[in-house]
Amino acid sequence: MSEFITQGTFRPQVQKSLELAYSLALSKPNLSFSQCMGNSFRQTVAGLFSHTKMNKDVMLLGHIQATRERAETTDGDYVIAAQDTTYYNYSGQKKMSGLGVIQGKVRGVMQHNVLLVNELGLPLGLLGQQYWTRKGGLNWPKGEKESSKWLKGLDAINQQASQSSKCFVSVEDREGDVFSLFKAPREPNVELLVRVYQARNLEVIGSQVVCKLPEVSSHLKDYGTNRVRIYRHNREVEVTLRLRAGAVNVYPEKDLSPSKHKTQGLSLVVAQEISCVDPQTQEDLFCPKEATTWYLLTSLPIDTPEQVIRVTRFYALRWQVERFHYTLKSGALQVEKLQFDDIHTLVNALTFYSVVGWQLLALTHAVRENSEQSAQAVFDESEVMLLQKVSSKKIVSIADAVYALTKLIGFAPSKKQPFPGVKVLATAIDRFFFMKLGFLGSSGLEGP
Which amino acid would we find at residue 161? A
Which pLDDT value is given to residue 417? 81
Classify burial at 388, counting beta carbons within 10 Å of its beta carbon; exposed 0-12, middle 13-18, buried 19 or more. Answer: middle
80 φ/ψ angles, rounded to the nearest 5 degrees:
-100, 125
Which pLDDT value is given to residue 448? 45
Tens of pLDDT, residue by residue over 193-240, are 999 999 999 999 988 899 999 899 999 999 999 999 998 887 889 999
Considering the chain, what percentage of its residues have pLDDT values greater than 90? 71
Buried b (16+ CB within 10 A) or exposed e, 404-422: bbbbbeebeeeeeeebbbb
Tens of pLDDT, residue by residue over 197-207, are 999 999 999 88
Considering the chain, what percentage of its residues have pLDDT values greater than 70? 97
Pick the range with the lowest mean pLDDT from 158-172, 218-232, 319-333, 392-406.
392-406
Tens of pLDDT, residue by residue over 252-298, are 988 788 888 999 999 999 999 999 999 989 999 999 999 999 999 99
Average pLDDT, the chain: 92
Tens of pLDDT, residue by residue over 148-193, are 999 999 999 999 999 999 999 999 999 999 999 999 999 999 999 9
Q: What is the C-alpha radius of gyration for the chain, rounded to an integer number of angstroms?
A: 23
pLDDT of residue 34 exceeding 90: yes
**Mean per-residue pLDDT for 336-358?**
97
Three-class secondary structure of residue 434 per DSSP: helix
Which pLDDT value is given to residue 383? 85
In angstroms, the CA 152 to CA 173 distance is 16
Q: What is the pTM of this model?
A: 0.91
For the chain, which domains are there? Answer: 12-363 (3.90.350.10), 370-443 (1.10.740.10)
Which pLDDT value is given to residue 208? 83
